[in-house]
Amino acid sequence: MSFLTHAMLAQVGQGRIEGGWEYIWAAYGLTWLSLALYGVSLWLRRRSGEPPKELS
Amino acid sequence: MLYVTIALFALAVGLFALHLFWAKARGWVWKAVAVLGGAMLPAGAYFGLSWAPSEQDMGEVYRIIFVHVPMVWAALLALVVNFVASAAYLFKRSWTSDSLGEAGAEVGVVFGVVGLLLGSIWGRPTWGVWWDWDPRLTTTAIMLVLYTGYLALRKFVDDPEKRATWSAVVGVIAAVDLPIVWFSVRWWKSIHQVQSNPKTIDRSMFVVLVFNVVAFMCALFVYLWHRFLIAKAARAREVALPSALPPAGPQEAA
């Protein structure tokens, strides 16, 4: 194994990632917030628009 | 759990098909899908956060997969809808396909941007960086730029027919990036993992992933449908406008 490869592998963490719940909550929070906000946006836009007419 | 997920998957697909092929049912099918999705989304979050076991190397952080993957898959599906609608418009001009194309692009961009952000949040604890110019991430970013351009084009062109034709062409061209995004992890050396399948992921995790995918597809369906109705109503208002206003009379000139 070359020195460069050894040096690169030494930077790779070993074992299991511990914790990280703050990232998980951030991800789930972002998901729910974006789904809710986009849903509200669609609802408001539908309310302000006219009912659809038949178009070809 | 497996059989429940399969049953819910079948129910959702049945409702989607009903909506697609039976026009009279459209008034209530989307509500049924909304109820199904509204019940499955919190249940999916619960399963993803506490029911699914920890992962061997990533520990708990991998739980982001249960929102990241469904979000990106939903985005890709919405953009495929845009491609089909764009191609359909070029074959046969129809305000329905034009409106569906607009809906697919906007919903796809919203889901895609959130999916990319979720991937970034996942990348920080696992890769050590928020962003990397990796093939998957780069092609996804290009995809979002392309479809943002598509939406910008629709905003800037006032003539509905020119807008529909030009954006349909852009929709077909932009779709070239979709398979590149999907296969980028296999075609090039990527730090992003390849697609998970039942052989590479534990069954208890796979079931939760499929459950969440079904929930997000229900949300995607409801959003697409309503965005389509908004676009169609806008087209109806535009087409109802007089194509040429009468010339200004003396009273207007004064």
pLDDT confidence of B252, banded at 50, 70, 90? very low
CB contact under 8 A, A39 and B49: no
Nearest residue of chain A to residue B37 (CA atoms): A35
CB contact under 8 A, A51 and B59: no
Q: What is the pLDDT of residues B79-127, one digit of tens each?
A: 999 999 999 999 999 999 999 999 999 999 999 999 999 999 999 999 8
Q: Is the pLDDT of residue B254 over 50?
A: no
Mean pLDDT of B216-242: 89
Q: What is the pLDDT of residues B28-60, one digit of tens each?
A: 888 888 999 999 999 999 999 999 998 888 889
**CB nearest to A27's CB, from B58, B121, B126:** B121
Nearest to B144 by CA among B116, B122, B167: B116
Token pair recorded at residue B3: 């059989």
Q: Is the pLDDT of residue B249 over 70?
A: no
Angle at which helix B26-46 crosses helix B203-240, to 10 degrees, equals 140
CB contact under 8 A, B227 and A31: no
Q: How many CA atoms lie within 13 A of A32 on its CB side?
A: 15
CB contact under 8 A, B59 and A18: yes
B118 contacts in A (CB within 8 Å)?
27, 30-31
The reported pLDDT for the residue numbered B241 is: 63
The reported pLDDT for the residue numbered B3 is: 78
Task: Name the residue ranges covered by the structural domains of chain B.
Answer: 2-238
Q: Which residue has the higher pLDDT, B236 or B152?
A: B152
Number of A–B residue contacts, CB under 8 Å: 94
Q: Does B117 touch chain A if contact means CB atoms closer than 8 Å?
A: yes
CATH class entry, domain B2-238: mainly alpha
Verdict on whether the full-model pTM lies above 0.80: yes
User: Which stretches of chain A score pLDDT less than 50?
Assistant: 52, 56
> What value, to the nearest 5°, has the Cα angle with vertex A31 and ends A25 and A35?
145
Residues 6 or more apart whose Cβ sits within 8 Å of residue A5:
none
- Give ipTM to 2 decimals: 0.87
CB contact under 8 A, A34 and B234: no
Q: Is the pLDDT of residue B250 over 70?
A: no
Q: Does B61 touch chain A if contact means CB atoms closer than 8 Å?
A: yes
Whether the Cβ atoms of residue B115 and residue B68 lie closer than 8 Å to each other: yes
The reported pLDDT for the residue numbered B59 is: 87
Q: Is the pLDDT of residue B166 over 60?
A: yes
Token pair recorded at residue B233: 């109503």
The reported pLDDT for the residue numbered A8 is: 64
Angstrom distance (rounded) from CA B151 to CA B109:
9
Q: Does B89 touch chain A if contact means CB atoms closer than 8 Å?
A: no
SS3 A20: coil
Token pair recorded at residue B5: 């997920």
Q: Is the pLDDT of residue B220 over 60?
A: yes
What percentage of chain B has pLDDT greater than the value 90? 67
